Structure 1
């Protein structure tokens, strides 16, 4: 599996020189005989390339400025598309992070509103699928919204949406108290959707601490890639972020793409960062070198690797 980071030069898949056969006048055509091992190696390389697909995960520091956040997302979409990624995943609250809890309610919109339409245009213009985690979707009443993970295809169509089930009602060590349920309606449905990079299992941030949802995504919904857009706090991120993500990858034998918010959004809120892409063996295959930087991590996922891990350690037979 090849991987690279946006801060490093672009690595391309190895391609051998194209053989050229010159046929002169009055010379009989002579076929080129290659050793069997060379042919087998070429076939293996071609099969690996066919099963490999490039994905990207974005890291950013969203604020309460919708236009500024959109401009950053637009730039990252173009970078991911230029890198050859088929899917770009954004973190939770990519479009907006308010200063006060009520701020998100004020800007919340239905999925067919102008904010989401702008991101649909980005996907269409750059011919790339987008995972938009943690969109402030208008709820059933004026007092609540839904924390919604939206999947958009490369033609700008909404393919699926998942509403966050596990809401962040936590007293974080250090004195911060969060009560997401005070303004957010919890979702009820576990959601997976097919895509060009495999079958995607959708979740949002705090869901990560509840392995049951990922077991359902893997063994009932047949997910191959788990998406975990997040805005982990600095304290909880330092303690548990990487450990939880690698555990979810190992126990489900799925790729995990975890796009993260990073740094200080305002005087009251700070996110841990450390955007990661992890393979089904629990190995980190994509990561920004700067935990707090705005940018993208890129990796090539190989579904043959996924199937190999599942075949050699057949957990599905026990479920």
Structure 2
């Protein structure tokens, strides 16, 4: 499978962002990509929750979805839209949005949707706080999709810190798992490579992590370093810190080869009951 990866510095103009994504996906399709992977919040990246809520729409009127579905139809390429902020008519009554990954097939049809399960809420020692759950409602199900080249598992950014999700995707037959992200610089430097390599090794899957990078119009700075990691934990591609596009060939036969060498998925056993505190 030839995977195209797009690393972007997404801004506040939805139309301009959609056009840039469509152009990048078209270029990668022309280079022979079978599927193109895009970052988290690739249609609009804005930490101002009020401005974000006023800007987003439902899937049917999202410019990035429309543009990318057209590219898929015209070029015959699948596109994993890392995630978008989407207003869902069937969402919670409090009006929170979905942080949604959308998989578009080579015919332009939407094959799968995944809403980010794990939301990042934190109070930092310096007094600053961040509440992703104030703007977004969490998803409640893991999602896997069948593609001509194999099964693709979907996840988003902060999910990468929760290995149970990746284990479930691998047990369900995923050979490749997408991890689109907008990691900040400090946590990216400390944890990004380690976490992604660990998820690849634990699952025996290819990990494709398209990332945001650089200084954004909303003031945040993201780490970049979009990665493709093979099932043995080897980094096949590291895109550094500049906006860029890459094309990486994934030998999916490597998945079964690695799982035969380290059959951890077959050896996994459920842990029943609470953890016991041993007597002294």
Please report the TM-score for the alignment, with normalisation by the length of structure 2. Answer: 0.90
**Residue 315 in 1 paired to residue 264 in 2?**
yes
Give the Cα separation in 2 of the matches to 1:199 and 1:158.
15
Give the Cα separation in 2 of the matches to 1:183 and 1:271.
20
Q: Counterparts of 1:170-209 in structure 2 under 5 Å?
A: 170-171=122-123, 176-209=128-161
Structure having the higher Rg: 1
Q: Counterparts of 1:1-319 in structure 2 under 5 Å?
A: 53-115=1-63, 116-139=65-88, 140=91, 141=93, 143-171=95-123, 176-219=128-171, 221-266=172-217, 268-288=219-239, 291-319=240-268
TM superposition shift of 1:106? 1.7
Give the Cα separation in 2 of the matches to 1:132 and 1:248.
21
TM superposition shift of 1:317? 2.0
- Flag structure 2 segments of 5+ consecutive residues without an equivalent: 269-280
The structure-2 alpha-carbon separation of the partners of 1:176 and 1:240, relative to structure 1 and needing over 3 Å to count, comes to: farther
Deviates more, 1:169-178 or 1:159-168: 169-178
The structure-2 alpha-carbon separation of the partners of 1:259 and 1:73, relative to structure 1 and needing over 3 Å to count, comes to: same
TM superposition shift of 1:99? 4.8
User: Is the CA contact 1:76–1:295 (under 8 Å) kept in the aligned structure 2?
Assistant: no
Give the Cα separation in 1 of the matches to 2:131 and 2:42.
20
Q: Number of residues paired by the alignment?
A: 264
TM superposition shift of 1:269? 0.8
**RMSD of equivalent CA atoms:** 1.6
The structure-2 alpha-carbon separation of the partners of 1:84 and 1:262, relative to structure 1 and needing over 3 Å to count, comes to: same
Give the Cα separation in 2 of the matches to 1:175 and 1:230.
25
The structure-2 alpha-carbon separation of the partners of 1:128 and 1:174, relative to structure 1 and needing over 3 Å to count, comes to: farther
User: Is the CA contact 1:60–1:261 (under 8 Å) kept in the aligned structure 2?
Assistant: yes
Q: Aligned to 1:302, what secondary structure does the other structure show? A: coil
Please report the TM-score for the alignment, with normalisation by the length of structure 1. Answer: 0.79
Give the Cα separation in 2 of the matches to 1:257 and 1:279.
9
Give the corresponding residue for 2:273: none
Q: Aligned to 1:200, what secondary structure does the other structure show? A: strand
- Flag structure 1 segments of 5+ consecutive residues without an equivalent: 1-52
Give the Cα separation in 1 of the matches to 2:84 and 2:47.
16
TM superposition shift of 1:82? 1.7
